[in-house]
Amino acid sequence: MLRDCIEGISGCRQRQSVEVIIVDDGSQPPIDARTLPRGSDALIVRLEGVGPAAARNAGIDAARGEIVLFTDDDTVPHPSWVDAALNYLDSHADAIGVSGPIESVDWDALYQHSIRTGAADEATGGNFWTCNIGYRRATLEAIGGFRADVFRHAHAEDRDLAIRAMELGQIGFAPGMAVSHTPRPVGLRSVIRQASWARDDVALYALHPQLTADFGLPVRLALVKQAGTRWVRRARQSDSGLSVKRWVRAVTLSAVAAAVAAWAVFLAPPLRLQQSRREPGASG
């Protein structure tokens, strides 16, 4: 998937030089530059499992450009990705960032994970996924980058960054800044891992309580309820119909997710939120 991502970036119509930075956060074996597509000239920053927020901060620190675009190794940027982002920011001086559509082939949400978003999603307060977003470097430096001391998983750190960034200006949307997201299988281990991220949601809502305005329950109970109904909802939304096999899988995964989320929000050690920013320019 990483090769496909790098090839997609290399295929962008680049009106100026673009540097590619890969942050390898503890993969085994480490990424070997010799296995990357020829001519990619990517800089590899090697870390030892510090988590996505700190890894992206390291990427920011290594970058030299005025604009920093983020994507993940499970996407393939379209040929217009770079130009669309740069053109938008050039023509909207008041914008501090820009996002674009995330496309995906159809997938079965009960068995696979993928993402699909468009202009309407971002206009109604999207998640501002880091698989397709860009910021002015000055903005990232002004807000101190990602909150690596709070968000340790691949969850909520991108939304928190966007909320803080939008205190300085708006994040625009460029239709041509598109990426294709690759669906991947979802097993019991990934369900448990994702449910444990409810702890990061508690931190997100503590930092940004305005996000809970429509909650009908206290935050922790709402998170457990969401985990406990998510897989049943996904089973019902599929065009495949709700067979006995699908129903059993959905109920089982929902029960496991609810139990893990309950542990994460009620029993796990509390997060310390008082040190919520790093100093601009500090190492991630």
Q: What is the pLDDT of residue 281?
A: 44
pTM of the predicted model, to two decimals?
0.89
Q: What is the pLDDT of residue 11?
A: 85
Q: What is the pLDDT of residue 270?
A: 64
Q: What is the pLDDT of residue 223?
A: 95
Helix (H) or strand (E) holding 118: none
Q: What is the pLDDT of residue 284?
A: 38
Distance between CA 134 and CA 85 in Å, rounded?
A: 7
Q: What is the pLDDT of residue 238?
A: 66
Q: What is the pLDDT of residue 12?
A: 81
Q: What is the pLDDT of residue 267?
A: 84
Helix residue ranges per DSSP H, the chain: 2-10, 52-62, 81-91, 119-123, 137-143, 157-165, 188-196, 198-207, 219-237, 244-266
Token reading at 235: 């089973």
pLDDT tens string for the chain (284 positions)?
A: 999 999 998 888 665 678 999 999 999 999 988 888 877 788 999 999 999 999 999 999 999 999 999 999 999 999 999 999 999 999 999 999 999 999 999 999 999 999 998 776 654 457 899 999 999 999 999 999 999 999 988 899 999 999 999 999 999 999 999 999 999 999 999 999 999 999 999 999 999 999 999 898 999 999 999 999 999 888 887 666 678 888 999 999 999 999 999 999 998 766 666 544 455 444 33
Structural domains of the chain in order of their starting residue, each with its CATH number = 2-184 (3.90.550.10), 188-266 (no CATH)
Place of tokens 């559509």: 101
Q: What is the pLDDT of residue 174?
A: 94
| Three-class DSSP category at 182 | coil
Token reading at 275: 């040190």
